[in-house]
Structure 1
Amino acid sequence: MAPPVVTSPRRAPGTQIHVLHLLTNSLPYTNSGYTQRSHAVLRALNARGVPVQAVTRLAYPLVVGKWPRSDRELIDGVTYHRLLPSFYPATVRKRHEKSADKLVEMVREQQVSVIHTTTNFPNAIVASRVAQRCGIPWVYEMRGELERTWLSRLPVELQEEAEQSEFYRLARAQETAYASAADAVVALSEISRAQLIERGVDAEKIHVIPNAMYEDLLDITCDQRQLREELGLPVDKKIVGSVTSVVDYEGLDMLIRSLTHLPDDVMVLIVGEGTAKPALEQLAAESGVADRVIFVGRKPTSEITRWYGVLDAFTVPRHDTLVCRTVTPLKALQAQALGIPVIASDLPALREVTGGVESYVPAGDAKALAEAIESVKKTDSGRRWAATRTWSMAAEKYELLYRSLM
């Protein structure tokens, strides 16, 4: 059990901003929506001239089975520090203490004025202690929460019962307590903000800074035929699909089932890896559409734009679960920036992240998804929406938030 959280009225002296981001994972060792957002934010803050560095959790990336190149790495101009202890404490409490001790040294040495961390609450335990000891404010960014991520991995029919479990209730209580104790809270959507307010977090300190995309995506024009030829894909078929983690809640089973309602010239492309892949391959075979489903696995970040560019439509057929109603994925916005039509489940988070300008179908309805695929048309509305959601705009909001804490 984490120690009690005490809100402090402290503020850092002076007006100089120097921000330290405490992260769970990071590039280049983990490539995910979490690490992509973190890196994009850090790059954009750097571009604005805001002094900012990052530090990853204790013993990362060793704890995920990867060897770091150094305890300090420079990636795209962003400095990442690694907390590499000579020994790894046996208990969670001791690991929190060691993390805090190491970070206090770094904060004082680097003259950090704000510490910024993200869910899950173990990060908040460490960040709040460091802030308290150093007399600086701290920011808690609510991304995917531990209990909701855990819930999303369970079969849908078990989720309602699991919400009443001791683990779920205690983890949720911890997240709420630390959000209430932070000097400021960042939410990724208005939906998330409203939920935090319902949980008792002060509305005045919640700042919505949504997922965004790099401005240069707006200038890219994809030659679909050429890309398909280069990647060995059919040039005369309609190809729809997703660049995603291949997990159950993404609803890729609905995408495969939709093929049974579509002409033979429609194919599905899935870029990514995950635990649901074997079951999806079996579903495709049992449904008689295995020859129309292409799994290409995970691709390097540097090549991802090419895989987006071969699609006639980008699909986000997520199931109607708590996490899917709340979490706003980056991938849909990236597709919009490239001018690719998006077809998504009609869930609040997906409407919000795509601006309500795309095609939406009832979650879990393969026939409705097929109808949307068949009628999809290319427009400029998605690209115009994406132009209002750039990382430089997000960085401006972060800077204003940090200055308000000074």
Structure 2
Amino acid sequence: MKALHIITGLGVGGAERQLRLLLRHLTIDCEVVALTNPGAVADGLVADGVRVHHLGMGANHDLSALPRLTGLIRAGGYDLVHTHLYRACVYGRLAARLAGVRAVVATEHSLGDSQMEGRRLTAGVRALYLASERLGSTTVAVSPAVADRLTRWGVPSPRIEVVPNGIDLARFHFDVSRRHHTRRRLGLPEDAYVVGGIGRLTGGKRFDVLIRAMARLPVDHWLLLVGGGPEESVLRRTAHEAGVADRVLFTGERPDVPDASPGPDVPSLMFAMDLLASPSSEEAFGLAVVEALASGLPVLYTSCPAIEDLPAQAATGALRVRGGPEAYAHAVAAVRAAGPRPRTAADAAHHYSISHSAARLMDVYTAAVSSSMPPSPQESRST
């Protein structure tokens, strides 16, 4: 089986990182096409030996990309096309059909109740999504919560499969030497209590809540924000206005594996933290939370379907926080007062092993390809 993965871009985001990790565990020949913004993950894929195509799409309404994408699919001789993220799903499903590929799988990574990938859900966005969804074979939801949202939108339940995001448990196994090295590299005081936030710096992630919580906590509390995005300048200004700019660190986008760029990777940054906080009120899965639990961190979160879908005892280190800066400041203080926990992986992290997710996705691929094949002459005669 030969598959083409189509994704909107390959910057350092949850969907992009997940795609790279999946390709390391899928047992078929895969190539990737990025509609726009090749990004750091593209370099990582190439380093892994994956062929990456750059379509050079200029904007959402760049219709000239459609024939280029259709031609690329037709020339590649792919058995299956797998799309990721909204723009890639809309263009990729149509291009796959025009190219004659009937086995078309799409993963819905970022569907919330009121937004998708940071954009507000309008009637037009929903209508276009549903129209393109009908061109595919299967829509993969990364959590039961996303599957429920798709059903409420009008996607037929038989077309939806739940394949949760996965993590590489070994990569997040706590390493005390990397913790000390990373903290020294970041210039963190030895006695600093480090609260971490990981994700795209957008309004929906509510990282401003954590910055304002810092102003309510003692001066030995630091905030480490890992990620890039359009709200970085706003968040820096918020830190200045709150009087905590000297103890809020912005790392920018970081890879999840070591690479040639300067600075630590995501696991090393997690090792440097004492607690991870995720104040986002709408999540499709909550990958950073699961990775934090794999590294033995206590976690505060507002929305995390990956945890909410499991029994409470699977994530004893995770606490749900409802509210704003005051609530988060109170919760951080309570976790610190309880003392340090052993940095061992929670049961929830083992539940989301990437090998399990890859195997489940292979089942989805096999079913999609089988159902798209024309009946054999013998089967035709028997009907």
User: For the superposition of Structure 1 and Structure 2, which TM-score range results when normalised by the shorter chain?
Assistant: 0.7 to 0.9
Partner Cα separation in structure 2 for residue 230 and residue 317 of structure 1: 27
Matched position secondary structure for 1:19: strand
Confirm or deny: 8 A CA contact 2:105 2:138 kept in the other structure. Answer: yes
Deviation, 1:252, is 1.6
TM-score, length basis structure 2? 0.80
Q: Which residue of 1 aligns with 2:25?
A: 44
Select the residue among 294, 299, 312 that pairs with 1:342. Answer: 299
Matched position secondary structure for 2:131: helix
Select the residue among 26, 31, 34 that pairs with 2:12. Answer: 31
Change (3 A) 1:205 1:90: closer
Q: Which residue of 1 aligns with 2:290?
A: 333
Select the residue among 77, 80, 83 that pairs with 1:114. Answer: 80
Deviation, 1:83, is 4.2
Matched position secondary structure for 1:297: coil
Change (3 A) 1:217 1:329: same
Q: Which residue of 2 aligns with 1:54?
A: 32
Superposition RMSD in Å: 3.2
Matched position secondary structure for 1:93: coil
Partner Cα separation in structure 1 for residue 112 and residue 145 of structure 2: 18
Select the residue among 338, 341, 358 that pairs with 1:395. Answer: 358
Select the residue among 300, 308, 321 that pairs with 2:270. Answer: 308
The 5 A counterparts of 1:349-388 are 349=305, 351-352=307-308, 357=315, 358-363=318-323, 365-376=324-335, 377-378=340-341, 383-388=346-351
- 1:92 is the counterpart of 2:62: yes
Partner letter of residue 276 of structure 2? F
Partner letter of residue 308 of structure 2? E
Select the residue among 141, 151, 163 that pairs with 1:209. Answer: 163
Deviation, 1:53, is 2.1
Change (3 A) 1:198 1:374: same
Map Cα deviations across residues 284-303 of structure 1 (whole Å, 9 max, x no partner): 33333333323343445422
Partner Cα separation in structure 2 for residue 389 and residue 90 of structure 1: 33
Partner letter of residue 342 of structure 1? V
Deviation, 1:189, is 1.2
Select the residue among 52, 57, 78 that pairs with 1:80. Answer: 52
Structure 1: give runs of 5+ residues left out of the alignment. Answer: 1-16, 154-158
Change (3 A) 1:185 1:230: same
Partner Cα separation in structure 2 for residue 281 and residue 355 of structure 1: 38
Change (3 A) 1:127 1:104: farther
Matched position secondary structure for 1:294: strand
User: What is the aligned length?
Assistant: 351
Deviation, 1:350, is 6.3
Confirm or deny: 8 A CA contact 1:272 1:296 kept in the other structure. Answer: yes
Partner Cα separation in structure 2 for residue 91 and residue 185 of structure 1: 23
Matched position secondary structure for 1:141: strand
Partner Cα separation in structure 2 for residue 308 and residue 246 of structure 1: 17
Matched position secondary structure for 2:28: coil
| Aligned sequence identity (%) | 23
Partner Cα separation in structure 1 for residue 151 and residue 29 of structure 2: 31
Change (3 A) 1:352 1:178: farther
Q: Which residue of 2 aligns with 1:22?
A: 6
Map Cα deviations across residues 137-163 of structure 1 (whole Å, 9 max, x no partner): 11122123699657946xxxxx7xxx5
Partner Cα separation in structure 2 for residue 124 and residue 90 of structure 1: 10
Partner Cα separation in structure 2 for residue 61 and residue 335 of structure 1: 28
Confirm or deny: 8 A CA contact 1:119 1:145 kept in the other structure. Answer: no
Map Cα deviations across residues 209-267 of structure 1 (whole Å, 9 max, x no partner): 12221132254423444542343211112111223322222212111221233223222
Map Cα deviations across residues 323-370 of structure 1 (whole Å, 9 max, x no partner): x2x42232222211111111111x25364378752111114x212211
Structure 2: give runs of 5+ residues left out of the alignment. Answer: 259-263, 371-383
Change (3 A) 1:95 1:82: closer
Select the residue among 178, 201, 204 that pairs with 1:246. Answer: 201
Map Cα deviations across residues 264-317 of structure 1 (whole Å, 9 max, x no partner): 322222233333233333333333333332334344542222211111101111
Map Cα deviations across residues 36-60 of structure 1 (whole Å, 9 max, x no partner): 1111111110xxx322222233xx4
